[in-house]
Structure 1
Amino acid sequence: MQGFNMGRYVPPELEGTMSANKVAGKHALGKRANKIKEGILTVRFEMPYAVWCNHCPKPTIIGQGVRFNAEKKKVGNYYSTPIWSFRMKHPACGGWIEIHTDPKNTAYVVKEGGKARDTGEDRVREGEDGVPILSAEERERRRQDAFAVLEDKKQDKIQEKEQGKRIIELQEIRDQHWDDPYEANKRLRRTFRAERKVREKEHDYAEKLRDRMGLDVELMPENDEDRRHAILIDFGGLADEDVDVETMRVTSRPLFQQDKQDEATPVKAKPSHKARAAAEIERRKKALQQEVRDNSRAAADPFLSFGNTESRTFRAITGIKRKAESNTSEQQTRAEEKQQDDAEKNETKSLEKAQPKPALSLVAYDSD
């Protein structure tokens, strides 16, 4: 049928130019938009939490989740977020209750006609945020003592004042260092470049050291503690009592014989007292120098570290005569070693006689 659209009549001359709601002078939302010109729209609102009604003669609480037909209206902005107002009528008493949104804290706030029920969830409990835990006696004393409450308030004010000063100091330091972000960034980059050069230098040195020594491990950077520890290390460090006298005498000999002319000294028939004193001083000086050289060589050469002499035994070498010493115990030990060597020689000769002689061969080793 011409002139009808969705069950609503539209005159033929107006068909296609306006809707049926506009022809009838009504809004698409019906009665909900009666105050749309004032910026008010009726919506279905649900209580976000329990609210005490201030208009009721007796204390009356509106439970959480109760729904109302509320007038929704924009009352402000928090930055770019609108703040909405929901104004509703309490059917029990006819009083108006107004609730606003709080975008800053993502919550609802009762502005008029009521009061949110205090459940204690927003309170700071004992043991949290520096609040001391009180005993039952202390809690009762504070409840009865009004001066204790005043002292707590005074202490809180002093603490708030001190913390406020600290906050101001931190803000001043921040403004001082970051007043010019370009300069601050410039300082940081300058420091980073200097440290980067040092790290690159240490890395190149470590790589060269690895290549030279053939290491396949990552070398850690040096520090003062490692240097001090390395200085204290003495390779082959032997105590004076651990150094064998005979070993020190043999190792301290030069590799090549010196000229006899250097060793020969003129002999005087009867040196004077002054000459004898000078000769004695010179002899002590040379002895001290020789001892220092021997000690230095024994400490620097790791192959001379023979350990303790008590746990070390020496075997006599055939063909080498040892110089007799005045120590009786050493002479007895060496005599026993000589007897043991003679016994081993005799045993070796008897075994050689018992074995048949090998046949003559063209080479000095056995053939396969």
Structure 2
Amino acid sequence: MGERKGQNKYYPPDFFSNKKTMEKGLDAYHGHHQLRERGKKAHLGILVIRFEMPYNIWCEGCKNHIGMGVRYNAEKQKVGNYYSTPVYEFKMKCHLCNNYIVIKTDPANLDYTIMSGARRQENRWDPTQNEQIVPETKETQRRLFDDAMYKLEHGLKDQKTSEDAKPQICRLFQRNDDVWKDNFEANLKLRATFRKSKKEAKAVEDADNKILSRTSLVGLSLLPETDEDRQLASLLKLHSTKSIQDKSREKFKEIMEKSVLPSSTIVTSFCGMKKEKLLSQKPANLGIVKKKEVDQEPVEKKKKVEAVTSLVAAYSSSSDEDE
């Protein structure tokens, strides 16, 4: 298929009449660079490439954070040499503002240097704290190359370090062999653990969704329960929630069942007023009521006594006839 690529291009009739244009190619005939937009500044020694941010930086224009790995269309230009290694400069525009960032390679330290437009975010730590392998510095490498005694001492120290770390390395190898000796069994256990955790997470999610739907809080995320939350919830007294229609029906029923006349408590309070005050207000009526009560009491007592005596007489007569 490679031989057909040249046949898919259009060549004007006057292209073959000029030998120089034929040597340079079809792009030169049309006045284009082979790389098109990437090579529009090729005559200045600038090539547009895809540049990836080597570390986290802060933009000086908008003061925003730009993470490591963010890619830009940068202008690449050679600005010098470090011995025989070329030094390149990259110029790119921030995607959040109109500020331009200029970064240059640093072959001496195997790093990149920010020239303008940004500042580096410092997230450095001592690698010995994490038990990482620390590379030798330039001064140590120079002494190892020039000083034979220092090289011997350094080698003895490295040998002692390796002897101290050998038991731990052996334990790691042994554990790796025990765990991954049977790949199928290890994979089976891992999948079973994952399946169990997935079911637990699904049960918790369903319970949370029920609570959210009951309280009309759909869309929120609930935090896991704690012992303090359970203790606080046990101390609260929950009341049954009723709708407005139920409350209005109960209120209407209460009003309909309520008596129109004043209650006994009102009468009792009225009767409990001071005697002098009542006599001063309605002396005639009070006297009549009192007289009626006095006249009615003996009559009621007399009727009750007669009823009891008649019942006793009837009972005694019935018992005599049975004998």
The structure with more radius of gyration: 1
The answer to which structure has the higher helix fraction is 2
Q: How does the TM-score come out when normalised to structure 2?
A: 0.35
Greater relative contact order (CA < 8 Å, ≥ 6 in sequence): 1
Q: How does the TM-score come out when normalised to structure 1?
A: 0.31
